[in-house]
Structures are given as C-alpha cells and as structure tokens.
Structure 1
Amino acid sequence: MFKDQVILVTGGTGSWGHELIRQLLPQQPKEIIVYSRGEAAQVAMSRAFDDKRLTFRIGDIRDKEALTAACRHVDIVYHLAALKHVPVCEEQPGEALKTNVVGTQNVIEAAIENKVKKVLYISTDKAANPSNFYGMTKAIGEKLIVYANLIQEETRFVCVRGGNVLGTNGSVIHLFKQQIRERRQVSITDMEMTRFFFTMPEAIQLLFKASRESVGGEIFVMLMPTCRIVDLAQVIIEESGVPGVSMVEFGVRPGERIHELLLSEYESRTTVVYDDEYLVILPALEIAGLQERYGDLPGVTFGELSSEHHLMDKEAIRGLLARGGFLS
C-alpha cells in the first residue's frame, strides 16, 4: 500500500519515527515528509538516512496553517507527535492539552482539507480508563480520530493502541543501564509495578498490518507480553556483568498506575478478537463498513486486559531484550 505514496509522519524524528521510516523506505514510497519541531534532530536524521525521498518540514501540530500546508498532496499520515511523559503532562496539563488534543484535531482537519486517504493515530495503553492527564489526552485523541470518520467519507481515520516499546526515548532500559554504569544502583518505582512491553521493529510491523487491513473508525489493540519492572531490572543487571548492583524503591509518581490496561472493562463490551496479534475495539457509533468487516468475529471473553496477568518469566524477558538488540 506504500508504493508511490506520499507519507507524512508527525513527530517523525522520535524513536517511533526513526523505526517507522527505516521500514517504510524499502517499500518504495514516493516521498516521506518528516514533520517535527526540532531542527537539530531533523538535520541529524537527514544525515543518518541520506535518502532523497525524505523531506523535512519544521512545524508544530499546534500550528494548523503549517500542518495544512505540509499535508498537501499527502496520501497517508502517521500521527506520532505528542507530549508523552506522565510527570510532564501532570505538571503542565495546559501544554499537554494543546499538543495532544488540539494538535490531534488540527491533524484531522488538515487531513480532511487535503483529502488524505488514511490517517493512523498512535495511542497508548494509558488511554484505557485513564488515571493521569497524559492518558486522558490520548483517550480524547482516540475519540476525535474515531469521530472524524462520521463527518466525511474521503479520509479514513484509524487508532492503534499499544504498551511500552523497548528502547524509545526515555525508556527504562536506557535509564537502568545508565544507573548501573554510573551508580551501581537501579531505581524502581514500585516492586509490584508491571507494564506491557514490545520491541520497536515488532510494533512497526503490527502498525503496518493495521494500516493495510483497517476500515476506519476502529481501535486496533496490539497484544503485548507483560512483565514486572523489577524482573526486567534484574535481567539487565545480570546481563551487565557489573557486580554489587542494588535496587532501591522510590515510590509511585503522581498519575502513575501500578498496573496498566490495554483494554478496559467498558471497552471489552464492543471488542472483537481479530487474530492472535490484535483485538479491535468497535465504536458505539455506527460507522460505515465496520459491521461488514468485523460483525462475524467473536467478542472477547474477559472484562479487562491488565499488565498484572500472564507475566513473562526472566528467560522470556531475556529473549525479548535479545530480539530488541539490547543484550550484548
């Protein structure tokens, strides 16, 4: 679906954007437009990829005029740009609102005005029954994206929701390795804390699958393995070979949950099992094409999907880290 297409990636200089573009280029797109605020990051990325099909546009998703201009002649939009750190969004909710909610509405309006074929919105498990402001803004973003399919028919809007992706900017893996190297001590928020984890290449492959097979109006939920953060830390400590590394618990920060949800109990009522890799949340609103596509699929047989269940053991965690290239 990407051959000879013009693709715009908001927030394209981040970790998701790097891997997405790395996997898009072999699929023969006509052009990939990297839209982001950071000049230095764009220059570094341009030098790293050195591909004439990449175009770099300085801009903010808060700036609707600039975003609309960037979307001209675009076929597909991947909307990655967001404020993502829970503490930052808790401390500066107005900024999170402007980027994650107003910015997403600007993406919707710019795509519709330019008759973009499909928009993919990357969401987070924190949007399921949100407990912090970041999750609330992403949940609103999901609602806006789903609803956008009702106000016109030319552009299809799709959500993809996943958990933590290993190795992204600010990832606990980089933090743990730095702490081991510099302090021989790893900081753990809570010894019982669990999270959903996936490798970046695997996440992008699932994103492509949703891109190809989506109708518009659904929320694709990536099924991901789960682990305790303390077990992840222990594996990284063991693999580091550094002796005498200790762990210290410093407590849950404002807005953080001990366990995350990929699917809430309320959402499970309208969720179907797509295959072994995806669940699909269908909207309560009637959107053309969804019933025909998903009406015969079985509904989920559980209430919520929490990271506290089906935990990986340390060998499985080690395998996940190896697939992600985090073990030497």
Structure 2
Amino acid sequence: MKNKTIVVTGGTGSWGRELVKRLLEREPKEIRIFSRNEALQVEMMHEFYHHPKLTFIIGDIRDKYELMQACQQADYIFHLAALKHVPICEQQPDSAMKTNVIGTQNVIQAAIKNGVEKVIYVSTDKASHPSSTYGMTKAIGEKLIVHANLREGKTKFVCVRSGNVLGSTGSVVPIFKQQIEQGLQINLTDKRMTRFFLALEEAVSLLLKATDESSGGEVYVMRMQGCRIQDLAEVLIEELAASDIPIRETGARLGERMCESLISELESMSSIHLDEDYYVILPPFPIDGLHETYAGRTPVQFDHFHSDHVLMSKPEIKEMLQNGGFLS
C-alpha cells in the first residue's frame, strides 16, 4: 500500500485506530478517517500527534454525497462503520437498516464511481445464520459486498468475518472489569452462552491478510476457539477481585442467542481451508476467476463452525486476557 490513498469508514473506533497504526507502517500516501464522531476525531488527532498523512473527515455513510467526495482518487476503502450494539439495533431497526445496509450500498457505489482498487468490509459472526436485527443487516451487507464483484468496473470487494474483539466498544471484558473494580456483582445474561473472542491485533491481521491475498468475492474467517462467558467472568474475578464477587443471570437480551456461528451449515458446503489459521467462504455463484484461484484447496470437513464446539479452558482464557493487557 505504499503511496496509496486509503479511506477508513468508522475509523475512530478501536478497530480503526489499530488499523491506522498498521497502515502507516506501509507508507501510504494518505489515510482518510471518515466518521461522524467529532470528539473521537479530535482525540485521535492528538493520539497520532497530528500525523501529516492522516486526514479527518466528518461524515456519515448514510450520506452518499459526502462519501463520494471522501473517496475521490482513493485506492482502498476499509469499511468499518456500522451500528453494532445488538439491543440498540433491536430497538431501532430502521436506523440499523439505514447505516448497515444503505450505508454499505453507498460505499459500494462510491468505490465503483471513483475506481477504487479494493474494498474490505468488516462483518461479524452474527451475520452467519442471523437471529438479530444487527446480524441480519450485516448479513445483507455481506451479500451486497460479494455481489458487487459482478458489477462493471475494476473494484474488487471482499468480506472479513470476525468474532468479538477484546476491549472493543461494548465488549463484555471492560464491563466485567468495571463491575469487579467497583465491588459489584457481575451481570451475565445466561451462563450457557458462548462467544468467539480475538485480540485487536489478530482482527487487524485478518483485515490485512484479506487485503493482500483476496481476489474479490470471498469471505475470510479466522480459525478460533469459543469461550464460555461464565468461564471468562470467573477468570476475571479470580485474577482481579479483592473479595468474592457474585455472578447474577439477568436473562438473554432481545436478539441474543446461546452461541455464535462463524460458518453456517449452508456456508460450510462452499468453505475451504486457506491455511492453518484461516478459512475462506466462496460465493454460491460464479465470479470471474475466483473459484479457479482456489482450485485444489481442501474443503472444510465440518458442517458448521459454532462457538460451543471447541471451548477454551480457563488457563487459555487467562492467557488470552493477559496477552490483551486486561489482567494488568
């Protein structure tokens, strides 16, 4: 990406900040941070010491005109902007639709209009066999991105599908830590729930791998173990609490499910092993040259990839939290 112009939508979030750090190492010409949060933009300006290669643009992906302007002469777009909180999307499905679906369509149109080389779309495990409004809107976003490879123009579009990023906005780990520090009980929606977790650095590595290696039309998935939320809470209590902290079940929230899925039953039929750390889901329709690129790759041997199948042990959870800096 040397001497390339890059747009990062939603770039002031935790993903965006880590991504920008890694992109700057590749000596781009310019990185444009496109987001609607003025306060976070000012904060990020200071964090990066007013770096001369960073341009901050106030804008909303719902506004196609603003997006068209931001993407002029851009080479890459990392599309991170979304409404992500499950309960909020359940309460305001119209807003989730406008941002996660129409906003994504605006990104696609801006990319094609401006002759962008590649668009990398950040999706979620909740888009696989979705049960919530958030998951459904992200699943439609995936469909739009993959199908955009059939449109005229040189732009390539690829998806990455991730689990929960440790410490990101709304993540349970900072919430649990705060409750423990204040000596409060930990509120857990359901002790049976399992989730996929990965470190922020791993999430950005997934983004960059898809950027470097994708042909357009794939969904990249990182191989990872699931984690029982109760085990996660108990490890945090054992490591951080000065006294006993009770765990109280509050009941599942609207749209929540017991486990998450990175690859659904239907998707497993067209999924392959990319290498020892990643899978690729291929589309069920032909895209010029795509399936030939992966000819000879080994198909996956499972019929789905759910978070309750291979669970981390408590020592593994502790190591994950230590590596992420959450037990210091």
TM range (shorter): over 0.9
- Equivalence for 2:84: 84
Partners in 2 of 1:5 and 1:225 — Cα distance?
A: 35
Task: Output the amino acid matched with 1:261.
Answer: S
The DSSP-based 3-state class of the residue aligned with 1:123 is strand
- Equivalence for 1:45: 44
For the 8 Å contact 1:15–1:168, the answer to whether it is kept is yes
For the 8 Å contact 1:206–1:222, the answer to whether it is kept is yes
The DSSP-based 3-state class of the residue aligned with 1:144 is helix
For 1:34-58, what per-residue CA distance to the aligned partner results, in whole angstroms no more than 9, with x for missing partners?
A: 0000111101100110211100000
- Equivalence for 1:181: 181
| Structure 1 residue 18, shift from structure 2 partner | 0.8
| Structure 1 residue 182, shift from structure 2 partner | 1.8
Give the TM-score normalised by the residue count of structure 2.
0.98
Partners in 2 of 1:327 and 1:6 — Cα distance?
A: 38
Where does the alignment leave 5 or more consecutive residues of structure 2 unmatched? none
Partners in 2 of 1:39 and 1:227 — Cα distance?
A: 35
Partners in 1 of 2:126 and 2:301 — Cα distance?
A: 22
| Structure 1 residue 241, shift from structure 2 partner | 3.6
Map 1:24-103 → 2, pairs under 5 A = 24-50=23-49, 51-103=51-103
| Structure 1 residue 208, shift from structure 2 partner | 0.7
| Structure 1 residue 289, shift from structure 2 partner | 1.9
Which sits farther off after the overlay, 290-299 or 187-196?
290-299
Which sits farther off after the overlay, 49-58 or 241-250?
241-250
Aligned length: 327
For 1:212-254, what per-residue CA distance to the aligned partner results, in whole angstroms no more than 9, with x for missing partners?
A: 0000011111112211001001111111142121110101011
2:261 equivalent to 1:243: no
Structure 1 runs, 4 residues or longer, greater than 3 Å off: none
Partners in 2 of 1:309 and 1:129 — Cα distance?
A: 16
- Equivalence for 2:8: 9
Task: Output the amino acid matched with 1:112.
Answer: I
Partners in 1 of 2:18 and 2:304 — Cα distance?
A: 30
Partners in 1 of 2:244 and 2:146 — Cα distance?
A: 51
For 1:46-95, what per-residue CA distance to the aligned partner results, in whole angstroms no more than 9, with x for missing partners?
A: 01102111000000000000000000011000000000000000000000
Task: Output the amino acid matched with 1:310.
Answer: V
Partners in 2 of 1:11 and 1:257 — Cα distance?
A: 26
Identity of aligned residues (%): 56
The DSSP-based 3-state class of the residue aligned with 1:27 is coil
For 1:263-313, what per-residue CA distance to the aligned partner results, in whole angstroms no more than 9, with x for missing partners?
A: 100111111111111111111111012122112111111111000011000
For the 8 Å contact 2:4–2:29, the answer to whether it is kept is yes
- Equivalence for 1:230: 230
Map 1:143-158 → 2, pairs under 5 A = 143-158=143-158
Where does the alignment leave 5 or more consecutive residues of structure 1 unmatched? none
- Equivalence for 2:21: 22
For 1:178-235, what per-residue CA distance to the aligned partner results, in whole angstroms no more than 9, with x for missing partners?
A: 1112243111111110000000011111211111000001111111221100100111
C-alpha RMSD of the superposition: 0.8
- Equivalence for 1:213: 213
For the 8 Å contact 2:115–2:153, the answer to whether it is kept is no
For the 8 Å contact 1:76–1:116, the answer to whether it is kept is yes
Which sits farther off after the overlay, 317-326 or 94-103?
317-326
Give the TM-score normalised by the residue count of structure 1.
0.98
